[in-house]
A and B are shown apart, each in its own frame.
Chain A
Amino acid sequence: MNHQGEREPRVLKHRLSSRLFHWGLVLGFLPAAITGFIIWLKQGSDDFVNLAMQIHIIGAAIFTVSAILYSFFSVDRIVAFIRQISDWSHSDLKWMMVGGGYAHKMILNKEISVPPMCKLNSGQKSMGVLMFHGGIFLLFSGWILYAFIPLAPKVLVYWFAFGHLWIGLFLGLCTFAHILLGIYNWSDFKAMFGDGTMTLEEASHHNPLWVENKIEPVKKECDSDSEVITACSTN
């Protein structure tokens, strides 16, 4: 019996390094965002806000280490990500105008046709642009505000603090939306928090252009302890 025929073909959408970086964001950026709101609103006693700040700094450290490690070990994924978030066309505008069809599906319970998308849809690309640039600013300004206030000029510290607050609040809200939409897109949620794979059918539904142009079959040469698969183009 053909074992392959018993299950649907699957595609690796999120590599291990990307999933680990995502965990770094979950354990670092998310607590920093939540505690950022607490510190801004000064909810609770002084001791509670002080604890929130300590958690904020630990989260920032985890976020920083994750970003540095990902930059060192997965330069190709960062290049791929920047290429994806920089690739905009009229399809993206059309996608945005219907909100990817999500509003129709969630509220009116009907599916409408949307322009085909690559690995990241237009909404995810927007989020990517915001998180990439905003995240770098938050990291840089955060460490200046934590460790270098005595050295930095007052005007710089003022504007860094202003930017850190408002960009942090905005990205925190974006993260909240990201979590909700991530759970709604359950197949991708399972891929990111699981083994990184999804069925080819699910990928074709959400990311048809990616399936058509950017993936290739693999030739499996792996030992039982490793997830490393040697890719082999059929062309």
Chain B
Amino acid sequence: MAHYDYVEKAVNVSRREFLQIIGVAGAVMWTGVYVATDLVQDRTKYIKMRAQGIYKDDLKAKVRQSHNNPALNEMYNKFAQKPLSPLAEELFHTRYVDRTKLG
């Protein structure tokens, strides 16, 4: 246990100072959150617009499913035999290794 004979006088924060501190802290945090939200919304706006454009294109497209794609069907007929065939698995799937590199 510490033995001491003197201690620093207590720090007094007046009501005005407390409100100033809370006000500044609140303003900084609110500004940060507002800027961050604004930036994220700006970025996602264009992503959403692109997605809507792609959906509109889909509605107009003649062929809307990959299994009806004539080029794909020809590739399977002439080369890879059928979806999930051994050759298709070997060529079109990858194997994963741990590539975590934080540094």
Contacts and interface: CB of A to CB of B under 8 A. Distances in A.
Interface of A: 4, 7, 9-13, 39, 42, 46, 49-54, 57, 75-77, 79-80, 83, 119, 151-153, 156, 195-197, 200, 210-211, 214-218, 222, 224-227, 229, 231, 233
Contacts of B2: 12, 195-197, 227
Contacts of B102: 50, 53-54, 57
Given A39-B103, A225-B1, 15 more contacts: A7-B3, A10-B3, A42-B103, A50-B100, A51-B103, A77-B11, A79-B11, A119-B8, A197-B3, A200-B6, A217-B6, A218-B4, A227-B2, A231-B10, A233-B9
- Chain B interface category by residue count: 20 to 34
Interface in B23-42: 36, 39-40
A11 B10 contact: no
A196 B3 CA distance: 10
B54 interface: no
A88 to B, nearest CB: 19
A217 B9 CA distance: 9
5 contacts: A12-B4, A12-B7, A53-B102, A218-B6, A222-B1
Interface in B74-103: 100-103
Nearest to A218: B7
B51 interface: no
A39 B102 CA distance: 10
Nearest to B101: A50
4 A-B pairs with the lowest CB-CB distances in the bound complex, closest first: A49-B103, A195-B2, A11-B6, A53-B103
B1 A153 contact: no
Given A12-B4, A196-B2, A216 B9 contact: yes
Given A50-B101, A153-B39, A76 B11 contact: yes
Nearest to A197: B4
B61 interface: no
* Residue in B3, B21, B101 with the greatest tally of chain A CB atoms within 10 Å: B3
B6 A12 contact: yes
Contacts of A11: 4-7
A36 B68 CA distance: 54
B59 interface: no
Nearest to A216: B9
B13 interface: yes
Contacts of B17: 79
Given A39-B103, A46-B103, A49-B103, A10 B11 contact: no
B60 interface: no
B43 interface: yes
A137 B40 CA distance: 21
Contacts of B11: 76-77, 79-80, 83
Contacts of B4: 10-12, 196-197, 218, 229
A127 B13 CA distance: 24
Nearest to A51: B103
Given A79-B11, A153-B39, A9 B6 contact: yes
A89 B36 CA distance: 39
